[in-house]
Chain A
């Protein structure tokens, strides 16, 4: 615990130090200092944090508490397996994003950017996330939550001269605070019922208004996790933010929403007392979010926006898996509950690894080509081989292909859904199987999405002169990306061990009753880790066979000539990069099918006259929820408030009259 607190202090001190640099006038030298100091402190703090997480034994519960001079609440920290597990992505990604960020910002123009401020907010974000995962007091939790929610606003607004970036950061700010309103209500209600904000003291058997509390927590935390229809800030914020920030937000901060949903069951009492629809709500919203997210991702041609929608999809899958866990608990079936929660946590770790990796790769593409618009990319695998391999690894992992980690996580979730056949009642069985079919559709489409992402960005011929001659990064600058990449492979081939590492945490999930935990620890772990071991074995077989086949091809070719020539154009000799398939045409068959469901817009202008003129074809998927729901809603609110402007006449005499009227009214009220 002491090492862990030291890490927190270090983050705070680093934030203060870089903040002080930020307050002085910006010069190139100060920017350089901040760009060394900030990431350095973040990296050391994250390493210390990792040591702190692992020290003292994974299952031990440590706590630290001191009063802070406010009328209520306390500075209470706690480390239990659940917090430890959620801290892993924070520290691992915090480390690799700090290093990658430091590298990508090293040539920043001091006239445009104040790096002191950037790194100060980065450290504040790290501090906020760490405190959220370990806070054991309602008020302290909300304060940390605000630190965590506010600092990304300044991080996203890095390129603040760009109009779209400004818009994106405002959308983020509004969304973050609409969610926070529900959380404040959640903790206020609990505080009112218990008279204290300490988590330990708020644990009650069955609080009054439990359903209302659950809904508040679900909406508040769900907004942070990006569940539909509260996901709108994600596809705006991620493309706008610098890539190392996107990676950290997507891989670590979104998890805070999931953590909150699971942690809130600390206060809601045992699941047996609650209706079954709680679990089904999570399952339903989760799978709908996942389907919507991945289908939206399909229509994007902006690489980072595609990744952002894919984050929505993955958060949906995690919440769905948590819902399966709840359903299992409600029905008293250990396999479903334990595997549902394990799948949820396993997928959370996996998602942090591959999404962090992919966002950092997208950042390198942006840095070296100057754009991540896939209609202008292509051919980067040949020009930047190392980066291409890293991206391909991330793409294969997130598309749930064996032997990488995405598949292992999805396998656990699938098994828990297949066990849904043990649920009583036809409708529950069918619901589980429909969810499983939905999950398969999601993973099938996500393979499509990442074929597009990798194929259009890295393969074929460059679609613009920028991609023709990218500014190639030295391989050693890609080192920070190797950490999440290695975790993708370890999570796949060592899935058994990661799964076993997650198991102690399952026992600490608040809703898991004692009897289910016992069965889970005895039967479920052995059974499932054996299966994961088999899959890993198959993965090794596969790697050996692939190596064998590659060797076989070498031997077969022997000294024979391997000629290079132009791509076979079916008799057409004058192929140019412009005749290649584009991101839009690649997804056209899918947009034709799914278009009515997800609202893709196909712009087609095909000239069929004898002397063809210019033709264009494009597919885009604007966010329907934002365009059709939020924009009209906020415009209606604005219009409503505009009517209040009659009071704002701008004439001082009228304002003095208002004061007089108010005073008289108060006097009358006081007398009466």
Chain B
């Protein structure tokens, strides 16, 4: 029964994921005093792209077409490890947070290789930056996970049962009221990670993909047709993953229907928040970004040490 409920939740997440970029765009438009694109624009885009042919660079090989496929599949697999709507993932297991982080890493690896495959200097630039931010973002994500693991173990959850489903399903608010409010800080560092991993302002600007300053958008310049549709969809699933992680940090345990509604509300709230940030902030200079990631890492490390000192 739980399995079926979870599958429903998974289908819901996969179906609603393209909505998040739409909401972000609508918020940005409102801020700028425009009416903006339809909220469902990404659905229209994907529907249009899958009906088109492709143009592939002469330089490119199978690596180029494998990139979008692998990055989309790894995003979907990573999503399937998360607890959704208050239901623990039936695929989850002890230590699945390691697999989740590395699945996202695999997707990044494939995207970067696809970018390098075209031999374009622009895409090389994006690839180089993405590879670096991925490399230093990984330890930060882990520090945040570890702070939760350490709290869970000191609150009596055996280490053999520590999984994403145990940590991101009403656990964190429980810990807050049990006298561990330091976990609230994780929301900040996970929020920064969301912006970094999904290439949003202030790390990357998803709008101006012909500038020399971009990361993700510039890596996918050469993709077209179904390949581009896969990339857009995979990116929206990845955004959903991080939004669900953030939601999992703040929503207390509730009945499934209430939790599902709360989670959807939280995910859309994250989208609105990202839209607001994009409207009121400028992009940081590229060499400041590692400092931002480092700051998030410092916050997570601080939380981790606080959880251990008790």
Q: Which residues of A contact B (CB under 8 A)?
A: 335, 378-379, 381-382, 385, 388, 392, 396, 399-402, 407, 411, 414-415, 418-419, 421-422, 426, 429-430, 433, 436-438, 440-441, 443-445, 447-448, 451-452, 454-456, 459-461, 527, 530-531, 534-535, 538, 541-542, 545-546, 549-550, 552-553, 556-557, 560-570, 575, 577, 579-581, 585-590, 592-593
Judged by a CB distance under 8 angstroms, whether B226 is at the interface is yes
Judged by a CB distance under 8 angstroms, whether B55 is at the interface is yes
CB distance from A334 to the nearest CB of B (A): 13
A381-B63, A549-B73 known; A414-B95 Cβ under 8 A: yes
Chain B, 71-94, CB within 8 A of any chain A CB: 72-74, 76-77, 91, 93-94
With most chain A CB atoms within 10 A of its CB, the pick from B127, B286, B309 is B127
Once the chains bind, are B57 and A581 in contact (CB under 8 Å)? no
Chain A positions within 8 Å of B62 at CB level: 385
30 contacts between A and B (CB under 8 A): A335-B159, A378-B119, A401-B105, A411-B99, A414-B95, A415-B94, A419-B159, A421-B153, A430-B308, A436-B142, A440-B142, A447-B108, A447-B134, A455-B113, A455-B127, A530-B93, A542-B73, A542-B77, A545-B73, A557-B54, A560-B52, A564-B55, A564-B56, A564-B57, A567-B118, A569-B122, A570-B122, A581-B116, A585-B124, A590-B131
A396-B109, A421-B150, A581-B128 known; A557-B118 Cβ under 8 A: no
Once the chains bind, are A590 and B210 in contact (CB under 8 Å)? no
Alpha-carbon distance A399/B91, docked complex (angstroms): 24
Q: Which residues of B contact A (CB under 8 A)?
A: 50-63, 65-66, 69-70, 72-74, 76-77, 91, 93-96, 98-99, 101-103, 105-106, 108-109, 112-113, 116-122, 124-125, 127-129, 131-132, 134-139, 142-143, 146, 149-150, 153-154, 159-160, 162, 210, 221-222, 225-227, 230, 286-287, 290, 301, 304-305, 308-309
CB distance from B186 to the nearest CB of A (A): 15
Alpha-carbon distance A580/B120, docked complex (angstroms): 6
Once the chains bind, are B119 and A460 in contact (CB under 8 Å)? yes
Partner of B77, one of A401, A455, A541, A586: A541
- Which partner residue on chain A sits nearest B74 by CB separation? A542
Once the chains bind, are B159 and A422 in contact (CB under 8 Å)? yes
- A-B pairs, top 10 by smallest CB distance, nearest first, are A581-B124, A460-B119, A444-B135, A455-B116, A560-B53, A444-B138, A567-B57, A461-B119, A440-B139, A545-B73
A451-B109, A459-B63 known; A426-B127 Cβ under 8 A: no
Alpha-carbon distance A229/B111, docked complex (angstroms): 36
Chain A positions within 8 Å of B52 at CB level: 560
Once the chains bind, are A546 and B159 in contact (CB under 8 Å)? no
- Which partner residue on chain A sits nearest B310 by CB separation? A426
Partner of A553, one of B61, B65, B108, B119: B65
Chain A positions within 8 Å of B55 at CB level: 562-565
Partner of A557, one of B131, B221, B226: B226
Once the chains bind, are A426 and B103 in contact (CB under 8 Å)? no
- Which partner residue on chain B sits nearest A402 by CB separation? B102
CB distance from A543 to the nearest CB of B (A): 9
Alpha-carbon distance A415/B142, docked complex (angstroms): 13
Chain A positions within 8 Å of B162 at CB level: 418
A418-B149, A538-B99, A567-B119 known; A444-B56 Cβ under 8 A: no
CB distance from B54 to the nearest CB of A (A): 5
Once the chains bind, are B131 and A448 in contact (CB under 8 Å)? yes
Partner of B106, one of A335, A402, A549: A402
CB distance from B34 to the nearest CB of A (A): 26
Partner of B63, one of A392, A444, A546: A392
CB distance from B165 to the nearest CB of A (A): 13
With most chain B CB atoms within 10 A of its CB, the pick from A385, A438, A561 is A561
Alpha-carbon distance A411/B103, docked complex (angstroms): 13
Chain B positions within 8 Å of A530 at CB level: 93
Alpha-carbon distance A552/B153, docked complex (angstroms): 44
Chain B positions within 8 Å of A426 at CB level: 308-309
Alpha-carbon distance A251/B84, docked complex (angstroms): 43
Alpha-carbon distance A141/B292, docked complex (angstroms): 53
Alpha-carbon distance A530/B92, docked complex (angstroms): 12
A541-B77, A553-B69 known; A382-B98 Cβ under 8 A: no
Alpha-carbon distance A549/B69, docked complex (angstroms): 6
CB distance from B45 to the nearest CB of A (A): 14
Chain B positions within 8 Å of A563 at CB level: 53-56
- Which partner residue on chain B sits nearest A579 by CB separation? B121
With most chain A CB atoms within 10 A of its CB, the pick from B101, B120, B121, B135 is B135
Once the chains bind, are A538 and B91 in contact (CB under 8 Å)? yes
With most chain B CB atoms within 10 A of its CB, the pick from A411, A414, A440, A566 is A440
Alpha-carbon distance A570/B52, docked complex (angstroms): 21
Chain A positions within 8 Å of B76 at CB level: 545
Given contacts A400-B105, A448-B131, 6 further A-B contacts (CB under 8 A): A335-B159, A402-B102, A411-B99, A426-B308, A443-B102, A553-B65
Chain A positions within 8 Å of B50 at CB level: 556
